[in-house]
Structure formats: C-alpha cells, structure tokens
Structure 1
Amino acid sequence: MAPVARPSIQAWAGFACMGVGMFMAILDVQVVATSLPTIRTALGMSEDEVSWIQTAYLIAEIVAIPLTGLLTRTLSMRWLFVAAVLLFTLASAGCASSGSFGALIGWRLLQGLSGGTLIPSVFAAVFLLFDERDQTLATTFAGVLAVLAPTLGPVVGGWITDAYSWRWLFLINLAPGLVAGFLAAFFLPRDRPDLRLAARIDVVGVCLLAVGLACLEIGLKEAPGRGWSSARVLGLMSVSVLCGGAFIRRMLRSDEPVVDLRNFAALRFSLGCALSFILGMGLFGSVYLMPFFLGFVRGHDALAIGETMLVTGVAQLLVTPLAVALEKRWDARLLSAAGFALFGAGLAASALQTPTTDFREMAAPQVLRGLAVMFCLLPPTRLALGHLPHEKVPDASGLFNLMRNLGGAIGLALIDTVIFSRLPTHADRLVESLKAADAQAARFVGIAPALLDRTSPPTAAEIAFVEPLVRRAAMTIAINEAWMMLAGVTGVALVCLLVSGGWLKIRDAGLEPLGRPSHPGSGGWPST
C-alpha cells in the first residue's frame, strides 16, 4: 500500500485511533504493576503466582510482536488493528471479571497476544499512511504515547486502586477500546485481506518462534532469583537458543517466511534495531528502578511514586516540538548520538542517590532523560524503517519493536541480578565500616557518628534499630550500581553510531538477502 500524496484528515483520524489502542496496551502493563499486592490479596494468590500476572502478559506480547508483519499481510492493516483492539478490550473485560488465578492468567495471555500487535502496527502505519513530510510528526505522536504511558502508569494505577478497586484497572480499557476499534474500521484505508496466506502459514516456524521467545522470557524472569547457572535457567535458555537457531535457519531458507529476517541485511535497519534494543534496556530499566527505589527505600505509596515520575513525562512533552524540528533537518545518526549521550548522563546522575534522596534530587536526572528520549526514539525509527519498501515495513516494524522489548526484558533481569547479588556484600561492608567507627558510613546509613564513639557493645534494641537502616543503605548502593550499568550500556549506542558512520559512507547494504549480494539479474532485493 503506497502512502497518499498528502495524508487526509481521515488518515490522521485512523492513525489517532491506532495510537489510542497502542497507548492502552502499554499503559495496561504499568497500571497493573502498581496493584499486584491488592490483586494477590483479593484472589488469594501466593507470591510466586502473583508475578505471573505480569509475566503471562509479557510472554504473549513478545511472541505476538514479530508476527505483526505476517498478520498484516493476511488481514490488512485495518482489520488487524480492529480485531486486535477489540480482542484486547474483550480480554480486559475478562480480566476484570476474573475470580481465580487461572482465569486471570488466561485472560492476561489473550491480552498480551492482542496488545503485542498494536505497537508495531502503529509504527508501521507511520510509513504506510504518510508521506515523508508528515512521517516525522506521526512518529512523534506515536513516540510520545509510547513513552508517556509508562510514565503515567503508576499515577493512574495508584489513583484507581486507592479510589475504586483493582478491577477498574481493566475496565478503563472498555470505552476507549470499543470507540477506537469502530472508528478505525471507518477511517483506516480499506485494503483487502489476503486470507489465502493463512493456508500457507509456516506453523512449525510460528511454534519455534513462540517456544524460543517464551523460554527466553521465563528464563530471564527466573535467573535473578534462582541463579543464572541453575539447572532450570540453563534448561530454558538452551531450549530458547535451539529454537531460535532453528527458526533463523528456517526463515532464511523460506520463500514465504513468518518473519523476514533478511531485513537485517540492511545496515541502517540493523543499526536502528541495535539502538532500539539499548533504548529498551535504559527505558524499561529506569521505569523499573525509580519505583523500586521510591517504594523499598523511601517507602512511598503508588500514587506518590507516580507523581514523582511525572517529571520525565513533562520534560519529554516540552522538548517534543524541538525534536520534531531538528529531526527534519539534522542527520539521524547525529541526533541519535546526542540523544543517547544525554540519556546516559541522566542514567549516570541517578547513580548518585543516597537513602534520603527524594523528589527534589531526582528531578534533574529525570529532566535529562525526558529531554533525551525523543532523540533516542525518532531518529532510530526513521533510520530503521524510513528507507524500506512499503511491503517490508510491517515485518521490519515488528522486529524493530521486538528488539526494544527484548532489551527491556534482558535489562530488567540484569538489574535484579545486580541488586540482589550485590546487596548482601554492601550490607557486610557497611557493617564493617560502622564497627570501624567510619563517620562517612554512619552518615550514609542515617545514624549519628557520635553513636559509634563508644566502648560498650550495642544493645539488642540498638541492633534492631540499625539493621533496617543498613539494609536500606545497602540497597541504595546496589540500585546505584544498576543505574551505572544502564549508563554504561547506553555508551554502547554511541560506539555503534560512531563505527557505523564509516560503513554507511562506504556502502549501503540495502535489502539484499544475507549471504547473497544483489546485482543486476541476481534476483535479490535491490540496494537502496
């Protein structure tokens, strides 16, 4: 489907409906996270069971994302979105009415499968509905929604849980979901579905993809608690690698692949995906670390956490017009480098927290990250998708968004590993420092240095008072190390951009199949 010469109001209206669906899908993950303890109490779940409320959704979502291209070719962009958003709405109603653990998990799986197609569909629509002049504005609209949803999630979730009940976390999806679905059916282009493709779907390939990604997601979830070398985690990762390898081999040999991995032959697309992966680690990681610190160290409730995190969203909205203007005029790699450098500075600034850090001290790092996000999202999106033929965009958009989610999943697993593996070490070191009457350590922990200047051993009451302070201080240090890890990973983006600059000047990989250079008469994809 070629974009129109100048997008009509109808095209923008249809795209706005798609944006609403994507916003719902992203927001749903965050608002539910704030109320997991409430849901656990209401349905009588164990600690292990309650974590599956989120894990079930994320597994289904990460499996659905790369299948978006296949589903778009089969159902058309219009009917895929309508079916997905209405199915997501139905699943939301099912979640709200659930009375048991099993029922809730089943509906969450359906939510994830439908919600997973909404995000890449929107980013694909940017390049299918609009010409080059309007693609930047459309990408900005989608990017603002994609980044704003996690920022607003804790506020919305905390307020709904406090004012109403956890079931309204799902019921709020009903009205916008129904409206977006029916309006999109009217406004989006009326492309005809090609249902004949359904009969030729590579079922084995789909199963390999689903099993490989599901095992990877579960393995990453289990690794911080059980250990990366535990038999369960190694088994899951082994199955993921085997299925992934078989899937890649099968797709590269297929004439009608489930996911067209040959898109990675384009250097610009591969670079964009690498940047998307790194942004996922930083974005998902920061949205995870801030509530973690504010909840476990500062002791704030969900609503207070959400109010603190609004700073990022406000900064992001304020810089959006500038990002749009610069994206039209400056080289995408230069803007991306500036964005990731600023984003990394914001992550590194958060690594200076103390147990007493709160809203005022956390504002500046949030502003840095908020100002940087659009420059880390808009240019890489154009870099990855802007040069592709229209028929390749749906598949490529699925892969591009999958990389961001994979980056987030791996980032969260590494963060938990850093925090919970380093926390005991830091606690022991703080205890030793306190025994040595280290005044700086005492002030960091939160006790008066004068209390260390004594000859008598501490009483049981004093030990009971100091122990939680030491644990809180040790957790702060471990969280700071996780922030520094994310900042270091962000530096990899700068290296990728620096190295790729020379390559892009020498050659443009285009869309030639891996291992088969394209030349006149070769039958390969033409270079672009």
Structure 2
Amino acid sequence: MAAICLGTFMLLVDVTIVLVALPSMSGSLDASLSQLQWVADGYALAVAAALLGAGMLADLHGRRRVYAAGLLVFALASVACALSPDMGWLIAARLVQGIGAAAMFATTLSLIGTLYSGRRLGMAFGIWAAVAASAAALGPVLGGLLTEALDWRWIFYVNVPVTALALWMTFRYVPRSTPAKDATRRLDVPGLLLFAVGAGGLVYALTGSHSHGWTAAATLVPLGAALLALVAFVGVQRRSVHPLLDLSLFRRPAFTAAMITIAVGEAAVYGILPYTSMWLQSVQHLSPVGAGLVVLPHALAAALVAIVSGRWMPKPSPRVGATLGLFLAGLGVSAEGFLGPGSGWPALVGGLALSGLGMGLVFQVAAALALGSVPYDRAGMAGGTYSTFEQLGYAFGVAVFGTLAVSTMGRSMEGKVTDPHQAAQTLSGGGADGLIAAAPAGRRGALEDTLHAVFATGHNTLALTAGALAMASAALVLFLTRHTGSEPPAADGWEQPADPELQATGG
C-alpha cells in the first residue's frame, strides 16, 4: 500500500506543485500566459491521453510491470524538466512526464482492488483517497517551500529520490499480477492516437482562444480536428473487438456517476486554482510559501474526510456520497467568489476548507464506484478511465477558466487601459507589477487599485461559475442514480480475484 501511495502522491503532487512556481518560471524563462497554462495543462493532458492505453497495457502485460515502467519514465522526465533551458523544452518534458504518470495512475486503483477485498478494500480506498486529496492540495505548499528556499527547478529534482524509493518498494512488496490470457488482445493504437488528438486538440484550441479569438483559424482548425477525431474514436471503439474504452461501461449508472463526479469536481475545484495562486502572489504579494499555506485548510479537510469515509463507508452510495461531495465542493468554490478590491487572503480560507470536505468525499466515492461497478478483467480499463476523466477534468478546467478569466478581465478594463485584451492576458499571468511599473508615475496608484478590482472581479466570475457547475452536476448525479439504491452494483470477480498469485498474498 505504501509503495502504491508513494507513486500516487508524486504524480498528483506534480499536477499542482507548479502552480505557485509559475511566476518564478515566467521571470526565469520569459514565459507567456499560454505557455504557463501549458506547463500546468500539458502534464494533465498527457496523463489523460495516455491513461486508457496504459490501463490496457496493464491488463495485457501485468500491472506491476507497467507501474514500475511508469515510475522510471516519470523520474527521467522530471530531471529533463529541471534542466529545461527554455519553455519549449519544459513543456515537452512535462508531456513525457505525464506519460510516465499515466502508467502509474492507470495501475494504482486496479492494484489496490486486487490486493484487498470487503471492508479492507473500503479502508484501502480511504487511504488512497486521502493521499490523492492531500497530494493535489499540498502541491502548492511543497512547491512554495522548494521555490522560495532553493529554486523552481527543485520541484522536479525532488521527484528522483522519492521515485527510487517507490521503485524499490514496488519490486520488494507488490506481487506480480497475471496478464490477460487472451492472445488476440492487442493495444488499440488507432483508438489511442484518435483520443490523444481529440483531447489534445480541444485543450489546445481552448488555451489559445484567448490569444487568437474564437473565430480565428488558429482556434477553429484544431477545434474542428479535435471534434472529428473524437467522433472517429467513438466509431472505432464501437467496432473494435478489444476496445481501448469499453463504451458499454457507461450503461452502468454507478460508473457514469463516478466519471461525472470526478471530472466535474477536478474542473471546478482545481481548475481555478492557478488563478487563485496568481491572485495571492501578484495582488496580495504573498510569497510562494504563503500562497501554498493558504490552500492548506483544503488539504487537511480533504484528507480527513477521505480517511473517515473510507473507514465507515466501505461500499459508498453513489446517490449520497457523490451528490453530497459535489454539492459541498460547489458550495465551497462559490464561497470564494466574493472578493473585493480590498479583500485579503483570509476571505478564501472558509471556501477552500469547505471545498476540501467535498473533494475528500468525491475522491473516496468516485474511486470506489469506478472499480466496484466493473468485473475483475476490466479493472485496468476502469482504473484508466477513472483517472482519464480526473485529469481531463483538470485540464479542461484550467483551459476553460483561463479563457473566461481573460475575457472577463478584458471587459472590466475597457476604457481604463490602452489595450484591455493584452492587459488582461498579462494580469492573468501574474503580471500586475509589470503593468503598474510601465504606467506613468502619477497614475500608478490609481492603476493598482483598478487592477486589484479587475482581478477580484475575474476571480469571482471563475469561482461562481465553477460552483454553479459543480452543484448542477450534483443534481445530475442524483438523477442518474435514482434507481441505484444504497449500494453500488455487484462487482463481478472482486470478492474472489481470479489471480491465484494475488489470492496467496491475502487479496
């Protein structure tokens, strides 16, 4: 369990550890807002694009083997990130790092599901969910400490010794799993490529839309290509004998509810976190450590709820758990949407803590449902699909809310600055001080007040939109699970895993 959780902690920390380091990266490598978005988004997108393929490889070649390979790729890519001479190198290395993380992420849930059963399985999911919730929220704290004490590059160097320990523990303690015996099963390469093009094209179009505009060819071409690729992906999966994603899984209400819960929760809560970090550092002038500590109540609340729900809810109800988790997450994010020009960082703490309570429950319930609603031989696919939706939710959240932030701030600055659109991009990327320094000396005080008000308005729009999305999705999950009852569907093969080697370990 420790070996699996080490890998989970690392790969999820690296989703958010970069957030408080973005201003330092911008100054060090002269980055634009779009490039900073790709540092955060490229990793999550690569994880999402590779997860389904990694899940199938795990079913075909053994989960421990794929998990260990992912650890190795992750460590090497982390070194490449730390040595980056420019933003292009850093973004490329983050994409490779995401591929390694995908191999780890796609196998963690299925490894847990094959090693534990009954009440112990619920407790194991609770531990895993606590680690997942803590990692996502502690990332900014750790990133702030490393950036302030050493340099932003150390947020990547620190992965190497932890990976080495996780790799040793994996070979020492995690038993080998028996690969699928069906010799006709092969990796669905066309499906993998189509899904990567579709997801990547959508995020690329959304990320660049605030620079090019929605009607520009640079936005419409990748958007159209992405939609065509996704349509083709669905067609290929429906005809394939051994699909990358078994679309019939979505006929199970509990499985569909789990996917909606984790994707919307990630998008709403963590999709706006980069812009919250920018506000804390560029408007509140907190240090990277200070900005990370503001998020600490979220981490503590999420971890506490995940552990408690795992202890008392070994078979969580999708109707109660997912609905309540999403509703609390949405309520907490909405509470962050009432900043004023003179607001300080304490205005965020209550909302962050409340959204942490919701996300702790979301992590626990969604993971258990995703694995508990499928048969044993689809464990890798279910784990990969769950993790894919989790990372896609984050990637799309960052991209969509980035576009919304620029458009909202641009409208707020019309008539107040010469180029409101360019100023909005600079402000969203943490460049408030640069805008103020470039103004005439006599206008700097008034401009600073204006920018603080504009950023608060933009952040409020993001938070209220994200909160409404989460609460509306909670209602949708409640509707979808109206006939589910208090327990998830029986999980074929989970009580008695078919793998005798895993049974011998106490699974």
Q: Does residue 176 of the first structure (1) align with residue 149 of the second (2)? A: no
Matches of 2:196 and 2:104, distance apart in 1: 18
The count of aligned residue pairs is 468
Cα shift at 1:364 = 1.5
Q: Does residue 251 of the first structure (1) align with residue 231 of the second (2)? A: no
In structure 2, the CA distance between the partners of 1:221 and 1:169, relative to structure 1 (3 Å rule), is same
Instruction: Report if the CA contact (8 A) 2:133-2:303 is conserved.
Output: no
Written as runs of structure 1 = structure 2, the 5 A alignment for 1:83-232 is 83-99=69-85, 101=87, 103-193=89-179, 200-232=186-218
Instruction: Report if the CA contact (8 A) 1:68-1:117 is conserved.
Output: yes
CA displacement 1:140-187 (0-9 Å, x = unmatched)? 222222221232222212221222233322221111101111221222
Written as runs of structure 1 = structure 2, the 5 A alignment for 1:51-66 is 51-66=37-52
Matches of 2:88 and 2:401, distance apart in 1: 29
Counterpart residue number, 1:470: 450
Q: Does residue 305 of the first structure (1) align with residue 291 of the second (2)? A: yes
In structure 2, the CA distance between the partners of 1:31 and 1:383, relative to structure 1 (3 Å rule), is closer
Matches of 2:319 and 2:220, distance apart in 1: 38
Q: Does residue 490 of the first structure (1) align with residue 476 of the second (2)? A: no
Cα shift at 1:41 = 5.1
Cα shift at 1:103 = 4.5
Q: Whose Rg is larger?
A: 1
Instruction: Report if the CA contact (8 A) 1:224-1:414 is conserved.
Output: no
Matches of 1:501 and 1:487, distance apart in 2: 21
CA displacement 1:459-482 (0-9 Å, x = unmatched)? x86644212212211221121111
Matches of 2:375 and 2:256, distance apart in 1: 16
Q: Does residue 355 of the first structure (1) align with residue 341 of the second (2)? A: yes
In structure 2, the CA distance between the partners of 1:68 and 1:261, relative to structure 1 (3 Å rule), is farther
Instruction: Report if the CA contact (8 A) 1:69-1:259 is conserved.
Output: no
Matches of 2:468 and 2:217, distance apart in 1: 30
Q: Does residue 270 of the first structure (1) align with residue 272 of the second (2)? A: no
Instruction: Percent identity, please.
Output: 25
- Shifted more, 59-68 versus 169-178: the winner is 59-68
Instruction: Report if the CA contact (8 A) 2:39-2:91 is conserved.
Output: yes
TM-score normalised by structure 2 residue count: 0.84
Instruction: Report if the CA contact (8 A) 1:91-1:110 is conserved.
Output: yes
Cα shift at 1:414 = 2.6
- Shifted more, 159-168 versus 396-405: the winner is 159-168
Counterpart residue number, 1:404: 390
Matches of 1:464 and 1:166, distance apart in 2: 30
Written as runs of structure 1 = structure 2, the 5 A alignment for 1:14-25 is 15-25=1-11
CA displacement 1:485-507 (0-9 Å, x = unmatched)? 011101222221331243436xx
Which of 413, 417, 421 is residue 403 of structure 2 equivalent to?
417
Structure with greater contact order relative to length (CA < 8 Å, sep ≥ 6): 2
Written as runs of structure 1 = structure 2, the 5 A alignment for 1:354-433 is 354-427=340-413
Cα shift at 1:286 = 4.2
Matches of 1:209 and 1:320, distance apart in 2: 31
CA displacement 1:435-464 (0-9 Å, x = unmatched)? xxxxxxxxxxxxxxxxxxxxxxxxx86644
Cα shift at 1:320 = 3.9
CA displacement 1:10-44 (0-9 Å, x = unmatched)? xxxxx321211121112123333433444455556
Unmatched runs of 5 consecutive residues or more in structure 1: 1-14, 432-459, 512-528
Cα shift at 1:418 = 2.4
RMSD: 2.9
SS in 1 for 2:176: coil
CA displacement 1:218-273 (0-9 Å, x = unmatched)? 12221233233332222111111111111111111111112222211212211211
Matches of 1:193 and 1:509, distance apart in 2: 25
Unmatched runs of 5 consecutive residues or more in structure 2: 418-439, 492-507
In structure 2, the CA distance between the partners of 1:149 and 1:224, relative to structure 1 (3 Å rule), is farther
In structure 2, the CA distance between the partners of 1:238 and 1:368, relative to structure 1 (3 Å rule), is same
Cα shift at 1:394 = 1.2
In structure 2, the CA distance between the partners of 1:311 and 1:116, relative to structure 1 (3 Å rule), is same
Instruction: Report if the CA contact (8 A) 1:202-1:257 is conserved.
Output: yes
Q: Does residue 28 of the first structure (1) align with residue 14 of the second (2)? A: yes
SS in 1 for 2:286: coil
Matches of 1:464 and 1:360, distance apart in 2: 26
Query: Which letter does structure 2 place at the counterpart of 1:504?
Result: T
TM-score normalised by structure 1 residue count: 0.81
Instruction: Report if the CA contact (8 A) 1:75-1:195 is conserved.
Output: no
In structure 2, the CA distance between the partners of 1:45 and 1:331, relative to structure 1 (3 Å rule), is closer
Counterpart residue number, 1:481: 461
Counterpart residue number, 2:504: none
